[in-house]
Amino acid sequence: MQTEGIQDQQLAQPDFKAEVLKDYRIAVTSRECSLLGRREVLTGKAKFGIFGDGKEVPQLAWARAFENGDFRSGYYRDQTFMMAIGELSVEQFFAGLYANTDIKQEPMSAGRQMGGHFATHSLNEDGSWKRLIDQKNSSADISPTAGQMPRLLGLAQASKIYRHNDLIPVDNGFSNKGNEVAWGTIGNASTSEGHFWETFNAAGVLQVPMVISVWDDDYGISVHARHQTTKENISKIQAGFQRDDQDAGYEIMTVKGWDYVTLVETYEKASQLAREEHVPVMIHVQELTQPQGHSTSGSHERYKSEDRLEWERNYDCNVQFRKWLIDNNFATDEELSELEKEIKKEVRDGKKAAWSAFINPIVQERDAVLPLLDAVAAQSNDGVFIKPLIDNLRSTKEPIRKEILETVRKTLRYTLKESNSAITSLNEWLDGYRKEVQDKYSSHLHSSSDKAAVNIKAIAPVYNDSSEEVDARLVMRDNFDAIFAARPETMVFGEDAGEIGDVNQGLEGMQEKYGELRVSDTGIREATILGQGIGLALRGLRPIAEIQYLDYLLYCLQIMSDDLATVQYRTAGKQKAPVIIRTRGHRLEGIWHSGSPMGGIINMVRGVHVLVPRNMTQAAGFYNTMLESDEPALIVECLNGYRLKEKLPENLGEFKTPVGKVDVLKEGKDITVVSYGSTLRLIEEAAVELERAGIDIEIIDIQSLLPFDLTQEIKDSVAKTNRLLVVDEDVPGGASAFILQQIVDEQDAWRFLDSKPQALAAKAHRPAYSTDGDYFSKPSIDDIFDKVYEIMNEADPTKYPKNF
């Protein structure tokens, strides 16, 4: 390892010597954590382990270039970096491995993610923002390979927005005039994923301050790079992205992962270039190793040759770093050996402290219930069967909560036919304990702040005698105009969203008025459109990410499900990304632009509000509501509603559609018909014909699928009509199954039913093309009439005779 580039004077400075020895201490500490962490998994104290061994030295160089305000979007081998920036202690490392549910002990996720997934806290206890510019930041990791890449794009773009949007106050707490870098990390094999390529291309187009480190150890789990990457070299095949005098692009750098000096210089250069000029950079860190293999699930000796293993032992980055320290007289072999011995003890002590912090509260919980269990056993006729359960729990030195609850619940099953004060006390303990403990594993799916979407009060649209009827798209356009004028932190972007004002003209003239920075076109790349939104929102901006059609949401559904929907949950409320996803769908001709895959969506994005307005005024109100809140949402506009006439409200930008509340469009006494979106117009038409047949239906617009009817107005309707029909243009068993489950099960509306609750859904296939295709594929007015009449005929065949 050479020292060229670092001046001899610098090498001789005491401060520099202290710095490099501090780096070595961190490298050895991280390695010891990896080694001991693997043992903890193999002994059963932890479930699974995936560690950062072999990547220590480049992460130390990266940490030197990482500044306050910067953001990391990485993958699960960056533990050394987190230690180097002071955001991961030994105790916290092991707390993550043990899945400690105390956020103070395990600040990365409170035990909700396996070890190796890192995050910093962006929010105060009340859900308000911290000053991110004053701290080093890491967005919360996810496991899906390359899933961290789309978010990285938005984190980098935020700096560009803050640098060029003069309407945002300079002292905003999120950015210092855009002088922040978003740093991404990815394994070389994961660069095969589409999310990497989509992000890479988009960052080159946008020219944002993003630095991607590719950790290259020649393998993806057990699969060699020759099966992963053309030419076995990601920097070679990305050479076409290299910027030159004629074209903007990337700065592409390569460096050996064991060469401390060159790594430091490379990361400093990348930081300066990205930070000052907003040029994206890729650093291909080659010749890395993975000393323990991919994870605790297997051994790398099975797929690496002895020559490769010997090379890895010699070129282990920590081994080379140690050699460099000795060769350059920073320390002697004896001094480093003594330091390593000291670190081993520190890591062992840290591990013990983390285990005690994890297990002692559970032992206390166990000990608190044992006297209650003993009392039940003493009074029960089945005490002889209960006592062994209690003895087993009492003798368990390291219990888990599952074992405590299993013992209590089994004990209560033995006493189902008994009643005494001991059983009452145990039941009371169980109720309290389950509520307390369940919250440790289930809280923060949504915001718990006063800005949660369900807390935003409804404000009705205001009209007067002169309010004109306009094409509904103008309601949307003029409401966006009001939003952009009042909220400089808000922006919208998507395919065709900029210059032409979106395909349905809902953004007509907005780019000309507010500029390309805030109303912009994107490439055809849905995953990174959403990724932009997530990253921008994580940095305090309020993005509206437009996915042109609902069907295209499938391109980014993985990111929406694995990343956006889980941000608050997987950080136990310490990060938020209140991005709004704008799209349009429902009832158009053909397979690809008329799908309504709502069942799939709502079951994959719990944590995101799914809002399904029937018209543009409702939709505009939802944008106003969600921009007031601190949560993410998907808003599905009706694709066939832009040219219909609606009154233009007076209070644009201010009226708000409530989240989680239904809208009764028509009161009736015979049957409750529930639906959402464009299909409601068909139900309203069918209602006229049903009225002629003597049937008075009540029509309820769900408005929001997630959350669903929080005030249970549908149940109240069913209690009045005693019959229920759900009409849905999704496939059978899709959203209609969810709606029925919510009404019949969650709301207990089954108690009021005199007829079987039914669903009228689309056919199982996608809609065929043309108007006939829609008629034969999705519920029509005729279908709705027939289904309602059949229900009424079954209830009273004399009053409602049937001849069809």
Residues with a known catalytic role: 593
CA-nearest of 453, 103, 61, 444 to 264 is: 61
Angle 72-77-81 from CA coordinates, rounded to 5° = 50
* Structural tokens at position 560: 């929406």
Nearest to 56 by CA among 36, 75, 83, 38: 83
Distance separating alpha carbons of residues 767 and 789, to the nearest angstrom: 25
| Tally of CB atoms within 10 A around 144 | 15
Dihedral Cα 83, 89, 94, 97, nearest 10 deg: -50
- b (16+ CB within 10 A) / e for 218-253: bbbeeeebeebbeeebbbeebeebebeeeeebbbbb
Q: What does residue 223 show for φ and ψ, rounded to 5 degrees?
A: -95, 125
| Contact by Cβ (8 Å): 237, 197 | no
Report the distance separating Cα 512 and Cα 102, nearest Å.
Answer: 50
Mapped onto helix, strand or coil, the DSSP state of residue 656 is strand
Sequence length of the chain is 804
Within 109-208, strands assigned E span 137-138, 182-187
Secondary structure tally for the chain: helices H, strands E: 27, 22
469-471 and 645-647: which strand pairing? antiparallel
Whole-angstrom distance, CA of residue 544 vs CA of residue 129: 20
Nearest-angstrom CA–CA distance, 479 and 620: 6
* Whole-number Å distance between alpha carbons of 611 and 456: 15
Token pair for 602: 């709502």
Question: How many whole angstroms separate alpha carbon 451 and alpha carbon 628?
Answer: 7
Nearest to residue 111, comparing CAs of 561, 119, 527, 565? 119
Helix, strand, or coil (residue 436): helix
785: CB partners within 8 A, 6+ apart:
686, 689, 690, 693
Give the number of other CB atoms < 10 A from CB of residue 705: 24
What's the rounded Cα separation, in Å, for the pair 280 and 421? Answer: 69
Which amino acid is present at 752?
A: F
Provide the 10 A C-beta neighbour count for residue 656.
23
Residue type, 796: D
Q: Which of 618, 539, 553 is nearest to 583 (CA)?
A: 553
- Per the DSSP assignment, residues forming a β-bridge with 637 are 584
Find where tokens 């104290």 sit.
Answer: 45
- What tokens appear for 622 in the block? 């939802």
The residues facing 664 across adjacent strands are: 700
CA-CA distance, 308 to 279, in Å (whole number)?
A: 36
